[in-house]
Structure 1
Amino acid sequence: MSRQLEAGERIVATEALHGGITADMRRLTIATRDGGTRDLVLRSFVDPFRVEHAEDGLNREAGALTLLTGTGVPAPGLVAVDPTAAQCAYPSLLMTHLPGRTVLDDEGLETRLPLLARQLVAIHAVRPAERPRRYVTLTTPDTVVVPKCADAAAWAAAIDVIRRPAPPYEGRFLHRDFQPGNVLFDVPRPADARITGVVDWAAASWGPADLDVAHCSTNLALLHGPAWGPRFAEAYEEAGGVLAATTSERLYWQVRDGLASSEEVRSVARPWREAGRTELTTRAVEERLDAYVTALMDASA
């Protein structure tokens, strides 16, 4: 940190930022030479599994923050990165602090939904001079974790969907983890919400717009109820976004992301509860995921 501060500056306060899954986040308040303060954010990978894969993720995030400079997308500015922990205790990235906060409440979602959709359309409109790497999906038919409460027939049919080859697509710049937990809002009143920032660009990649839309749809379905998933896809198109041409192609990406969430229910539900959504137990989120996947398959029948 000391190498990144200007002469006469010093750190006067630190604050842990909660809600993340993959990394520890700290806001650092810097006393400036003119008697004021400025804030930076330090993102560090401390979990042994995350540390093992940190170099790739931090380099990718640093690249994404660099290419987003000047695009109008409200991303943090890159200050410094230490992907191999050469200078820090853990692999870390230092960035500017953005105003706002994450909002995970049901109240005001009607207002926030189109804002999320328009922001994602703007992200997909970015045309980088150098494309990031191709998207990655780790879920396979063999790794899906079928919830105990699940509609077995619907899940078997969904798993069959992702046995097929991925549909052709027109590539777009993807955030790859665009969802309410990574979007900052200023909300003076629920009806006056506005987006102030989009964070966590470690998985930025090149791929189908449908994949980003499907990921946000799944998260909205788990946070707010299964009906909100399809509503986000509709809002994305209303905002000018373009999705796959056929229902079967769209279903492939929707189902792929829904099934991927089956492997992460526990780790996703915990920060939501810590953020105040105490009713979102692992079981409750599993039930919503089952209802969402079942609804997708019913709609395609």
Structure 2
Amino acid sequence: MTDHDETAGLRPRALAWVNRHLEAGERIVGSEALHGGITAEMRRLTVAAPDGGSRYLVLRTFVDVEHAEDSLDREAGALTQLAGTGVPAPGLVAVDPTAAHGEYPSLLMTHLAGRTVLDDEAVEKRVPLLARQLVAIHALRPVERPGRYVTSTTADTVVTPEGADAAAWAAAVDVIRGPAPPYEGRFLHRDFHPGNVLFDMPPSGPAGARITGVVDWAAASWGPADLDVAHCSTNLALLHGPAWGMRFAEAYEEAGGVLAATSGERLYWLVRDGLAFSEEVGPVSRPWREAGRTELTTRVVEERLAAYVTELMETLG
């Protein structure tokens, strides 16, 4: 729902900065908070044109977020590289990574149609679409490569969920104690999952669903395709059950994607991403509940994560 005050939620300096990037005669007539993100404030701005038409822009603001400058530089660079590629990403309007013009580091971009879909219903229809979209992203060969991928989880920071198979989790932790396998670099989204993908879901039913946008490119980087696949797999496992996490890698290959050659190499990336979620189950699951998946309590998500990592070890370990 749009706020009653046409500029509600917009800080004064940020509003002035946005206004400088509007077309002549345009003005902001609506401001609506967008929910679902973890690190950034998002607002959809309704912009009215002199001829009576209107359009939307999205303002992404990082408030007290560490490494905000790097994230916004990465996102601005990715959106610039993605323009004209066929990947449905927002268009970059302006970026202020150091808060030189506003209260906080921010990025202004075009708005994409569609909505996120996190329900269990028709997940079997959406998984192949997600896989095909990720293959298309990995096929890009940008003129300038983004920065190298980053991982923060270590064997010493993993939090084993209560009730998890201790032996399986200990073995999983041992997997990431070793060096990363060799890989052929690809253009990565690095946070590709259903919460960052927009769908058009026609009234005729899920068979006609299509992807209309991929958002949140703040972690765009260069690295192994397996890492993007692993991240989406973990999200699917937690949203829809461990079986869907296991299924996504298969769907990616069926769509033409190429993963690591050996099961041990694939296991490394899958486990690394799964274990990373052990440190942030609460922040990850909160937006899902806000979006309507109220049954996905922190405990339920912990149980799914425990089962997923165990199944990875039993299947590929």
- What's the TM-score once normalised by structure 1's chain length? 0.98
Partner of 2:98: 84
Q: C-alpha offsets along residues 33-64 of structure 1, whole Å, 9 cap, x if unaligned?
A: 21110000000011x2x1x3111100110000
CA distance in 2, matches of 1:174, 1:192: 27
Relative to structure 2, which stretch is displaced further, 192-201 or 82-91? 82-91
Equivalent residue letter for 2:32: E
The offset of 1:153, in angstroms, is 0.6
Structure 1 CA distance for aligned equivalents of residues 87 and 46 of structure 2: 24
Are 1:72 and 2:90 matched, yes or no? no
| 1:282-293 to 2 correspondences below 5 Å | 282-293=298-309
Compute the displacement of 1:149 (Å): 1.9
Equivalent positions of 1:184-263 (< 5 A) are: 184-188=198-202, 189-263=205-279
Give the Cα separation in 1 of the matches to 2:206 and 2:160.
36
Runs of 4+ in 1 over 2 A off after TM superposition: none
Letter in 1 for 2:81: L
RMSD over aligned Cα, in angstroms? Answer: 0.7
Distance 2:124 2:155 in 1: 34
**Per-residue Cα deviation, 1:77-97 (whole angstroms, up to 9, x for no partner):** 000001111111111000000
* 1:194 alignment partner AA: R
Give secondary structure in 2 for the equivalent of 1:287. helix
Secondary structure of the residue aligned to 2:271 is: helix
Name 1:57's counterpart in structure 2.
71
Identity among equivalent pairs (%): 82
Of residues 295, 306, 313 in structure 2, which corresponds to 1:279? 295
- List alignment gaps of at least 5 residues for structure 1: none
Q: Pick from 90, 103, 122: which aligns with 2:117?
A: 103
- In 2, distance between residues paired with 1:228 and 1:116? 12
SS in 2 for 1:256: helix
CA distance in 2, matches of 1:69, 1:7: 24
Query: Which of 24, 27, 48 is the equivalent residue of 1:10?
Result: 27
Give the length in aligned residue pairs: 298
Aligned partner letter, 1:115: L
The TM-score with structure 2 as length reference comes to 0.93
Cα separation, 2, equivalents of 1:214 and 1:7 = 45
